[in-house]
Amino acid sequence: MRVVSGIQPTGKPHLGNYLGAIVNYVKLQDEAHAQGGQCFIFLADLHAISMPHSPAELTKNTREMVATLVACGVDPAKTVLFNQAQVPAHAELQWLLSGTARMGWLNRMTQWKDKAGKNREGQSIALFTYPVLQAADVLLYQATHVPVGEDQKQHLELARDIAQKFNNDFCDEDAPLFTLPDPYIPPAAARIMSLRDGSSKMSKSDPSEMSRISLTDDADTIMKKIKKAKTDSEPLPSEAKELDERAEAKNLVGIYAALVGKSVDDVLADHGGQGFGAFKPALGEVLIETLAPINARFAELKDDQEALDAILARGAARAREIALPTLDATYKALGLVRG
Ligand code: TYM
């Protein structure tokens, strides 16, 4: 079992990142550790330069993201925790895979289409080739399980396509180089939506702070944001399928279910018939209870720059070592001569 996943150190991590991905980093880290497998969690700082960014902010956010991940339960003693920029093999493998990835495949990526909008010509090349770096991230460590939210599913399908084509084109049938990675997507929290608009996902880049719960929000802020969250005026139904046409209600019930580890049906069995005047405070309480210990731990860790840098340096040294055999084998498979 090889668990690999990444998160961009841009802006403050939010509840979507937590329930969609970070909770499963911790779950799979513990499973891998128990089975003698390995877990790699990295900060996708090289991905972060695909959009306009402030270098000083990127440095600050990188350290804060390490503190957040550790506060959420990612344990540097069990997980190789690092940032891409300290492991040049990521960028190297991206280039080596660029001969295999096809323009048509990248053109079909919905994230590229969404982020580029009508101005494709004005985008950085990095934004277009971003999914090839993401493929390199996981293929480099022969990932089997990749914990992500649903928005990353298409990128992982691309990673599988690249791996398969590379294996077909450059490897013997009985000795493929790359493992095909499987996404690991949580059922209830695959896509946490904005608190202001049930049709768009909760995102770091939404201009409204009220659209998301940041993992570092305090109790009052959390309760205020939940109470102000957009909803309809109907009471909660008693069955999950009745939420299908009610995006905002569905989102809040889904968040509650993910937080307490129950199915949506079980939550509705307890809360069906309740109006939002009663359900929202209940949800706010569960959120505050979940995030309070994370917040406290984050506050302890965030200013110890030396300790945070040491975690990254140790993780990166380990990642460089483990990445080497796959990187070397890739150069060799392509016929590239290296001393
Ligand atoms: P990023 O930084 O946008 O998000 C980090 C993780 O959080 C998940 N996520 C969500 N899940 C549920 N609901 C939401 N509203 C929500 N918003 C974000 C994302 O799916 C992701 O799992 N390209 C990636 C980073 C990356 C990566 C990788 C991931 C780079 N290389 C290799 C996996 C494997 C990204 O930008 O995630």
Q: 75, 67, 73: which is closest to 23 by C-alpha?
A: 73
Do 106 and 156 lie in one domain? The reply is yes
Asked, for residue 190, whether it belongs to a domain, the answer is no
Contact in structure between 151 and 8 (CB atoms under 8 Å): no
Which contacts of 223-227 are long-range, i.e. CB under 8 A and separated by 24 or more positions? 223/281, 223/284, 223/288, 225/195, 226/195, 226/252, 226/280, 226/281, 226/283, 226/284, 226/287, 227/280, 227/281, 227/284
Asked, for residue 192, whether it belongs to a domain, the answer is no
Do 8 and 110 lie in one domain? The reply is yes
Do 108 and 215 lie in one domain? The reply is no
Do 50 and 180 lie in one domain? The reply is yes
Asked, for residue 106, whether it belongs to a domain, the answer is yes
Distance 151 CA to ligand 1 centre (A): 7
Q: Which domain holds residue 214?
A: 209-300
Number of domains in the chain: 2
Task: Report pTM.
Answer: 0.96
Count the neighbouring beta carbons within 10 Å of the beta carbon of residue 321: 11
**What's the CATH number where 239 sits?**
1.10.240.10
Asked, for residue 202, whether it belongs to a domain, the answer is no
Asked, for residue 267, whether it belongs to a domain, the answer is yes
Residues labelled as active-site residues: 115, 201, 204
Do 289 and 309 lie in one domain? The reply is no
192 CB within 6 A, ligand 1: yes
DSSP string covering 172-211: -TTS-SSPPPEEE--STTSSPBPSS-TTSB--TT-S-GGG
- Three-state secondary-structure class, residue 224: helix
Do 35 and 167 lie in one domain? The reply is yes
pLDDT at 76: 98
**What's the CATH number where 315 sits?**
3.40.50.620
State pLDDT tens for residues 164-204. 999 999 999 999 999 999 999 998 889 999 999 999 999 99
Contact in structure between 12 and 215 (CB atoms under 8 Å): yes
6 CB within 6 A, ligand 1: yes
CA angle 3, 6, 12 (to 5 degrees): 135
Q: 10, 158, 183: which is closest to 97 by C-alpha?
A: 158
Distance 153 CA to ligand 1 centre (A): 10
Asked, for residue 199, whether it belongs to a domain, the answer is no
Count the neighbouring beta carbons within 10 Å of the beta carbon of residue 16: 24
Do 115 and 168 lie in one domain? The reply is yes
The label of the residue with tokens 């080739």 reads 129
pLDDT at 161: 98
138 CB within 6 A, ligand 1: yes
Do 14 and 107 lie in one domain? The reply is yes
pLDDT at 188: 80
Q: Which residues pair with 80 in a beta bridge?
A: 40
Which portions of the chain are predicted below pLDDT 50?
A: none
User: Ligand 1: which of 148, 160, 182, 196 to mutate, most ligand atoms within 8 Å of CB?
Assistant: 148
Do 68 and 147 lie in one domain? The reply is yes
Do 121 and 30 lie in one domain? The reply is yes
Distance 17 CA to ligand 1 centre (A): 7
Measure the CA–CA gap between 319 and 26, rounded to whole angstroms: 18
Nearest CA to ligand 1 atom 16: 16
Asked, for residue 189, whether it belongs to a domain, the answer is no
Do 50 and 160 lie in one domain? The reply is yes
Asked, for residue 41, whether it belongs to a domain, the answer is yes
Do 295 and 309 lie in one domain? The reply is no
Sheet holding 38-43, edge to edge: 79-83, 38-43, 2-7, 145-147, 182-184
